[in-house]
Chain A
Amino acid sequence: MGDRLSILFSDKLRWLKIALPLLILAALCVYSGIKGPELAPHFSDYLKDPDRFDGTQFMVQFTMVKEIKGPERFVVADLNGRRIDVVGSIPSGSEECFISFEAIFKAPGYLILQKPWHIYSKDRLKLYVSAIALLGVMAFFLRRFRFNLRRFCFEARR
């Protein structure tokens, strides 16, 4: 077992051992990039042919609340900025927050909010806090290791 492990992590064919997992990962990314969107229908697809998809129930994700038009109507936008009206009630002050919800698509092009739904109200704070943690991890790591460009590897500091 130990011998097998040492072969797996030896310098023999080092570049191949780096390139091969990265290539496999890249292939998986391409597969996911093609197959993934098919699993999650998007309202922009429905807007191309509203009558055909009238009454379709689906999950809406990666959308941001852009405007609350009234107690029973708000507007969401996807990551590309495409907007759609939603009939339903959400708490005021939810503008610029991400929301995930189940919805029914209605022609000519609006959604009816269904349960369950969730507004990610602390998302921005989460991002800032994560950035601080990432800086901490980087500092902790670089305090112990430095990169040797000639050998192209990290070396432990003395």
Chain B
Amino acid sequence: MPDLMTHVLSGNLVRRPHRYRELFFVGLALPDLLGRMPMIFHKNSYWFISPGHTPIGVLLMAYAISFLFKPAIRTTVFKNLLLGASLHLFEDLLQRHITDAYYWFFPFTWKSFEIPLFWPDQSIYFIPFLLVAAGIIQIVRLRRKRRRVADGRRGS
């Protein structure tokens, strides 16, 4: 997996949901929270927790988590979590491994595939570039927002 910083920063480069975008960023971290982080506390848990890092595991967990919110926003919460997690899994697809790493169609098959562009530990080299790109995009977004507010005032 790329590091979480790469995942979170890359979330700034795409068009984020308008409502409750915080859940989109939680979604970006969700696969690693479920399928990797427990390994810090229990080293041998890899196979047991692996389903948390698969599309089916993320789907099930996002559905369960959505019930921790009010009914009116549950579909938005669910969609945002899934959007974030999908981007996370897509970025993971771009890594190269020596052994099979991600079981995309689990539990139907253990077959694994990837588009091998970089090693998992090389993702930290992207962070400075992603930081700059995210900063530029944030400035552009803020300017657009200010312009819209100013246009609105002039219109009224």
Contact = CB atoms under 8 A, between A and B. Distances in A.
Interface of A: 5-6, 9-11, 14, 17-18, 21-22, 24-25, 28-33, 35-37, 39-40, 59, 61-62, 79-80, 100-102, 116-118, 120-123, 125-127, 129-134, 136-137, 140-141, 143-145, 152-156
Q: Binding site of A, secondary structure by majority: helix, strand, loop or mixed?
A: helix
Best-surrounded residue of B43, B47, B119 (most CB of chain A within 10 A): B47
Contact of A133 (B29, B50, B63): B29
Contacts of A11: 71
Given A32-B106, A126-B123, A9 B78 contact: yes
Contacts, number: 143
B68 A137 contact: no
B92 interface: no
Interface stretch (B51-59, B135-143, B146-154): B51-59
Given A9-B71, A25-B57, A102-B98, A132 B5 contact: yes
Contacts of B51: 25, 28-29, 31-32
A130 B20 CA distance: 22
A123 B71 contact: no
